């Protein structure tokens, strides 16, 4: 009995202190402000560029590590280009009506130190040995027909969820380096 108590207490201490993680900023210390111009939209889906840009700015404000400003006053510049927007049917009912879709978007990004002119990181979709890699990719799945226990969404509603998820990913990549090649190689 006494041994079991020590094991439980040990696990409790480990869970309390051993799993704590504090993210570390990877950007140079002099970068305190950032400009985020409206992303370029290379797709036929008008308006997503404004929605994604606004979501990124809102997430940067929520994060609090960088202040948003105009380009001429900024220490850094985050630019983006939406290069892919795909709406793919995933499942059909018995009468071959689509029940579920997958919406996915790929964004090319560049984060530049305006003080030095150095590109701190870049995520760009490109073909290497016949494989498409790079860019920041996000996707959501949603149902368009009602069934028990399922939430029905429109493409617009799914798009709103997607831009929030992408914005979170972009800000984590910008401020902490999460999702970067450095992070992937250190695993």
CATH code, domain with 84? 3.30.160.150
Sign of CA dihedral 24, 30, 31, 32: positive
Q: What is the per-residue pLDDT for 28?
A: 85
User: Which range marks the domain in which residue 101 is found?
Assistant: 27-185
* pTM for this prediction: 0.79
Q: Where are the alpha helices (DSSP H) in 21-119?
A: 48-63
Question: 16 lies in a domain?
Answer: no
For residue 21, tell me if it sits in a domain: no
Beta-carbon contacts of 182 under 8 Å, excluding residues fewer than 6 positions away, are 26
Residue 152's pLDDT is 94
Spatial neighbors of 52 by CB under 8 A, at least 6 apart, are 39, 80, 82, 105, 107, 163, 166, 167
What per-residue confidence (pLDDT) applies to 95? 92
The pLDDT, as a whole number, for residue 179 is 55
According to the model, what pLDDT value does residue 185 have? 32
Question: Residue 4 falls within a domain, yes or no?
Answer: no
Contact between 99 and 88 (Cβ < 8 Å):
no
One digit per residue, the tens of pLDDT, for the chain of length 187 reads 555 554 555 555 444 444 444 444 567 899 999 999 999 999 999 999 999 999 999 999 999 999 999 999 999 999 999 999 999 999 998 999 999 999 999 999 999 999 999 999 999 987 777 777 778 999 999 999 888 778 899 999 999 999 999 999 999 999 988 654 433 333 3
* In-domain check, residue 139: yes
Asked if 85 contacts 44 with a C-beta cutoff of 8 angstroms, the reply is yes
Q: Is residue 12 part of a domain?
A: no
Please report whether residue 88 resides in a domain. Answer: yes
168 domain-assigned:
yes
pLDDT at position 183 is 36
So what's the pLDDT on residue 126?
Answer: 79
In a domain, 14, yes or no: no
Total domains in the fold of the chain: 1
């Amino acid at each position: 009995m006494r041994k079991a108590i020590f094991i439980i207490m040990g696990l409790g201490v480990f869970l309390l202190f051993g799993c704590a993680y504090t993210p570390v900023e990877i950007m140079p210390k002099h970068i305190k402000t950032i400009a985020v111009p409206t992303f370029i939209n290379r797709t036929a889906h008008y308006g997503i560029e404004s929605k994604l840009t606004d979501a990124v700015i809102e997430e940067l404000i929520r994060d609090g590590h960088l202040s948003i400003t105009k380009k001429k006053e900024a220490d850094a510049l985050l630019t983006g280009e939406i290069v892919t927007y795909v709406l793919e049917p995933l499942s059909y009912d018995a009468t071959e009506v689509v029940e579920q879709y997958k919406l996915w978007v790929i964004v090319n990004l560049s984060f530049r130190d305006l003080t030095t002119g150095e590109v701190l990181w870049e995520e760009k979709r490109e073909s290497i040995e016949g494989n498409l890699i790079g860019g920041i990719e996000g996707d959501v799945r949603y149902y368009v027909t009602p069934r028990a226990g399922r939430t029905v969404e429109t493409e617009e509603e799914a798009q709103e969820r997607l831009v929030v998820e992408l914005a979170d990913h972009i800000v984590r990549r910008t401020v902490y380096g999460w999702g970067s090649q450095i992070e992937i190689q250190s695993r």
